[in-house]
Structure 1
Amino acid sequence: MKNVKGSISTLVCVMLSLVLILSACGSSKTATPSTTPALAATDTAATPEATPEATPVPEKELPPVELIWYYPQPKAQADLKAVNDEINKITQAKINATVKLMPVDFGGYEQKLNTVAAANEAIDIIWSSSWLFSYVQNQGKGAFQPLDDLLNKEGKVLFDSIDAKFWEDMKIGGKIYGVPNYQISAKNPGLYVQKRFIDKYNFDVSTVKKFEDIEPLLQKIKDGDAKDGIVPFGVVQGFFDEPYYNIDGTPYANVYMNDSTNKVLNRAFMPEFKQYLTMVRSWYTKGFINKDAATITGQVATDPKGERAVIYDVTGKPGGEIDIQAQNGGNPVVFIPLAKPYFTGASSTLNTISHTSKNPERAMMFLQLVNTDKALYNLITYGIEGKHYTKIDDKFIKLTPDSTYNPTTDWVFGNTTNGYLPEGAPADKFELTKKVNDAAAVSPYYGFVFDPEPVKTELANTKAVSDEYSFALATGTIDPEKYLPILQDKLKKAGVDKITAEQQKQLDEWLKTKAK
């Protein structure tokens, strides 16, 4: 096994969900090839120029229906109803359906959707992911409908518009349960630093190769700008770089990169994690990190007053500087990459059809529309032209300052390459996105899906233990020298070793199957 222990400079792969132990991915077995031969994908993902328009309404008359769509957002949008009304003008004309948008704050999304699912509410479309309202876990509970037949009929144009490998990532037990939102699908971790502080302190960003290298700038900001309400390093419930492949989308199963033994390890017991916790604790005690980091919810980049001088971003997508600038009070930023990108698949953002949907065919028609109809996609993403933005040309738009509709979550709604480009974004943003997706290294464990059913009791127990400590440790709020051993001891008593053994068993079996 290659020795990657030691400096955090070795950390090259990133998690967006920042807890020690997350709830397990669902109860499905290892993904297998689809048994639906009629589905055939194109070789490349759609671009704004190449995306086919959705198929017209079938000749047979469709009865009117209302579709309910749950998805997360950073904050409430005052003009949601006005935008929703305009959306329904399009959907009524094309598929004779209205859509009731049901956005939920990111911080409350998991709890809200768990409540909705437990109540068996009749809803139609649910946004899901590998890190929030888990796709695999909730499919294992029967929350979503299989989509293969629907994609072969009502969603054929949608299916053909997205690269085949993204649909592969949607398969659980050989069936597709989600529609991937095409976006950047490679982790390119790094730091966004507000340019005003780089200029003020004449800081050379080329010197930053690892987290520790940004400390001199953080100290200067702490000494010179904290009195004005500036937080040197803005954190929301933690951040972490990993020197290993996370093989199932949770912290449960990890394998060091270049480890030919394929040994599964739990993050809480890895030396790199303790080293990370020690660094973060140091930053917290020095006053670099916001004191509410362990309890604040939402997105890391949401900072309307521009009070966070430096933030960490897991994705580092092309054109991301413009997005972060729009979210931090309009302050220009510089992106500093910390690692080479590697492909993470499509499960970070997707939409599903609920098992309680009374109109799954129409729900698929809508998902096809929002992924292939540029007018509809841009309406839900940017709002109403002339009110929430103005067009510069056919490609670029200027967002209205202090707009009453600007969700800043294009990746929640559908294929991002159908969107306009905000003023200042690179003209070739979508081409760069596809280039990064295609060139990013692919984990040798891509496609492995852990079945937690044999250890579901232990998983529930270890999650309960983790919930006591995860955010406090990951943000430096409590001392890892004291509390990490307590966490490890409680995890052992809760059955973490049994979980790891089961993961190893399943991974070994999967590797044998893959080798054939």
Structure 2
Amino acid sequence: MLKKNRLMMTALFLTFVMILSACGGGNNNTNTPAEATKAPDAGNATNAPDNGATDGAIDTSKEVKLKMIFVGPKPVDYDVVFAEINKKLKEKINATVEGEFLDWSDWAQKYPLKLAANEDFDLIYSANWAGYNDQALKGGFLELTEEMLTKYMPQTWAAMPKVSWDQTKVNGKVYMVPQNRGESVEKLILYREDLRKKYDLPEINSPETYATYLKAIAQNEKGVAPFTPETGDWKYHNLDRVLLKQQQEWNMFDLDLPFAFKLADDKGQVFNVYETQEFKDLLVYYKDLADNNAWSKNVLNSKNDHQADFKAGKTASITHNNGTLGALMALMRQENSPYEVALADINQGKKKSIAISTQNGTSIHATSKNVERSLMFIDLMQNDKEFHDLMMYGVSGVHYEPVGDDKYKATDKNPNYTGFSNWNFNSPLNRDNEAFPQEASDLVKGWESNVYHYALETFVFDNSKVKTEIANVGNVMLRYAIPLEYGVIKDIDKALEDLNKQLDSAGIDKIQAEMQAQIDAFLAKQ
């Protein structure tokens, strides 16, 4: 049994999302952006577009066909919605856009290959959890200068808070147009309340009570998986983030690395998560759950869609952020699901933070031939209400009904236009689903009233000097850490020793020293 003060979990990532979320992110949160100020100088243009006009106006006389890479499945009604978007884009900037979609089951493998292979496309969804910093350093994204942003994205330039641009900088340069709406990425548990009541189980408000729930489901509900992780190529799964990162009030700079710091530590001292007692205690907790069939024996190879499985009653609990889980609850209630569902926060009273701006964003492919029109496209999607509504919610009267200026009512066709990464266009124009569960909204409001801001909130690690070591460490994590975090090993002590021994050989000390040096320099300037 885990001790209360050490109980929580850590690192794993296998293959999930969100949905992120990644990882990713729900767009039902109600955070409002900070006061907009002038963005920082993004550097000198290297591929600044030539608009061809002689009077300073932007020349759109030549029709342009843009291509954008999204992550997530292609929406059923993609053709219907994008036909409307393209009709209006043609009128507005003489352009059309074609979307390509990388499904959640294999996006992590295909995404970097799209950039490495130098394929012909213009825009791509980008995010910190999708390797934004790494891809920027590899040259996959175009640097976005102040001149370009002010000229081709005037609305975004005026609306975006300065801190958001600061957070996108890699080596002092901007490679992303970030979302312009804060969002909480704290992880919660969505579970079957009807099953908790059925077996007279205690309220789920701690790691111990959650374990009790999982074991009871495993023992009594045949054919229902107690917990299903999110698919994706993660090295920490969402349950790790619930039980370790949030429970211990830690933060990780990069979920592809086993480094963390304590939120309250103003000195930003970095430590290896795998060497902590908290992580070892978590492994004991996980192994106990695995031995009691809390998840599938095939968990390491599973490609199941955890949200679809939950909706269909095939699993009794999943984890994700509040927005994503709240949206799923709203959908199930709209469809009169036979299951009673509820949210559990097992980290009550712990410090809550909001995601940095790079949680969702849009980058321009470094080899795009349509830079100016691509930037104009993003500007419209974030700031023009008609375009924004189309991109985010589909066709009015078909996929949703507008309710005032800031809410919407989902129709029965709403699921035909959901599940992909349109969150990069989050902005103050977002509508909230009027059916979004009150309990989820209340949680967000409670967090927003007491958001915790920490010293390293805007720190970005430059990994250019340790890229080889990072690749080696990542391979070790995939091979040795993930089985540990799903409890599919016999001897925790030996497996943990082997993991750290392999990390030493991979060069983890060099990465930690470089990261700490950059943190010390960053804090010294504050």
* TM superposition score normalised by structure 2: 0.79
Give the structure 2 partner of residue 364 of structure 1: 375
Q: CA deviation at 1:139?
A: 0.5
Does residue 1:494 correspond to 2:493, yes or no?
Answer: no
Give the structure 1 partner of residue 229 of structure 2: 235
Q: CA deviation at 1:61?
A: 4.4
Does the C-alpha gap of structure 1 residues 160 and 301 become closer, same or farther in structure 2, counting only changes over 3 Å? farther
> What CA distance in whole angstroms lies between the structure 1 residues aligned with 2:10 and 2:485?
14
* Cα deviation 1:234-290 (Å, max 9, x = unaligned): 223633122254352333432234446643212222221222122112111101113
Secondary structure in 2 matching 1:231: coil
Q: Which amino acid aligns with 1:484?
A: L
Give the structure 2 partner of residue 64 of structure 1: 63
Give the structure 2 partner of residue 87 of structure 1: 85
Does the C-alpha gap of structure 1 residues 76 and 262 become closer, same or farther in structure 2, counting only changes over 3 Å? closer
* Cα deviation 1:53-106 (Å, max 9, x = unaligned): xxxxx6754311011110111x34232222221210121111111000111112
Secondary structure in 2 matching 1:442: coil
Q: CA deviation at 1:216?
A: 2.3
Give the structure 2 partner of residue 450 of structure 1: 461
1:85-124 to structure 2, matched below 5 A, reads 85-124=83-122
Does residue 1:473 correspond to 2:518, yes or no?
Answer: no
> What CA distance in whole angstroms lies between the structure 2 residues aligned with 1:109 and 1:406?
19
Please provide the CA RMSD for this pair.
3.3
Secondary structure in 1 matching 2:271: coil
> What CA distance in whole angstroms lies between the structure 2 residues aligned with 1:244 and 1:485?
25
| Aligned equivalent of 1:249, options 251, 254, 261 | 254
* Cα deviation 1:461-495 (Å, max 9, x = unaligned): 22222221333222223343442221111111222
Secondary structure in 2 matching 1:467: helix
Does the C-alpha gap of structure 1 residues 59 and 204 become closer, same or farther in structure 2, counting only changes over 3 Å? same
Does residue 1:273 correspond to 2:279, yes or no?
Answer: yes
> What CA distance in whole angstroms lies between the structure 2 residues aligned with 1:168 and 1:15?
28
| Aligned equivalent of 1:353, options 328, 340, 364 | 364
Does the C-alpha gap of structure 1 residues 35 and 419 become closer, same or farther in structure 2, counting only changes over 3 Å? closer
* Cα deviation 1:88-143 (Å, max 9, x = unaligned): 012111111100011111232232222221221221111111112x1111100111
Q: Which amino acid aligns with 2:81?
A: V
CA contact (8 A) 1:325 1:333 kept: no
Give the structure 1 partner of residue 36 of structure 2: none
| Aligned equivalent of 2:134, options 128, 133, 137 | 137
> What CA distance in whole angstroms lies between the structure 2 residues aligned with 1:369 and 1:428?
33
Give the structure 2 partner of residue 217 of structure 1: 213
> What CA distance in whole angstroms lies between the structure 2 residues aligned with 1:111 and 1:200?
41
Secondary structure in 1 matching 2:318: strand
Size of the alignment, in residue pairs? 469
Comparing 486-495 with 290-299, greater Cα deviation is found at 290-299
> What CA distance in whole angstroms lies between the structure 1 residues aligned with 2:210 and 2:116?
45
> What CA distance in whole angstroms lies between the structure 2 residues aligned with 1:376 and 1:298?
33
Does residue 1:157 correspond to 2:169, yes or no?
Answer: no
Give the structure 1 partner of residue 314 of structure 2: 307
Q: CA deviation at 1:441?
A: 0.8
* Cα deviation 1:168-221 (Å, max 9, x = unaligned): 21122333211122344334332222232233334443xx44322212222332
Secondary structure in 2 matching 1:500: helix
Percent identity over paired residues: 26
Does the C-alpha gap of structure 1 residues 360 and 327 become closer, same or farther in structure 2, counting only changes over 3 Å? farther
Secondary structure in 1 matching 2:100: strand
Q: Which amino acid aligns with 1:235?
A: P
Q: Which amino acid aligns with 1:408?
A: G
Does the C-alpha gap of structure 1 residues 405 and 488 become closer, same or farther in structure 2, counting only changes over 3 Å? same
* TM superposition score normalised by structure 1: 0.80
Unaligned runs of 5+ in 1: 1-5, 20-32, 38-57
Q: CA deviation at 1:160?
A: 2.2
Secondary structure in 1 matching 2:98: strand
CA contact (8 A) 1:374 1:418 kept: yes
CA contact (8 A) 1:247 1:448 kept: no
Q: Which amino acid aligns with 1:301?
A: Q
Q: CA deviation at 1:447?
A: 2.2
> What CA distance in whole angstroms lies between the structure 2 residues aligned with 1:374 and 1:13?
42
Comparing 110-119 with 184-193, greater Cα deviation is found at 184-193
Secondary structure in 2 matching 1:113: helix
Does the C-alpha gap of structure 1 residues 486 and 381 become closer, same or farther in structure 2, counting only changes over 3 Å? same
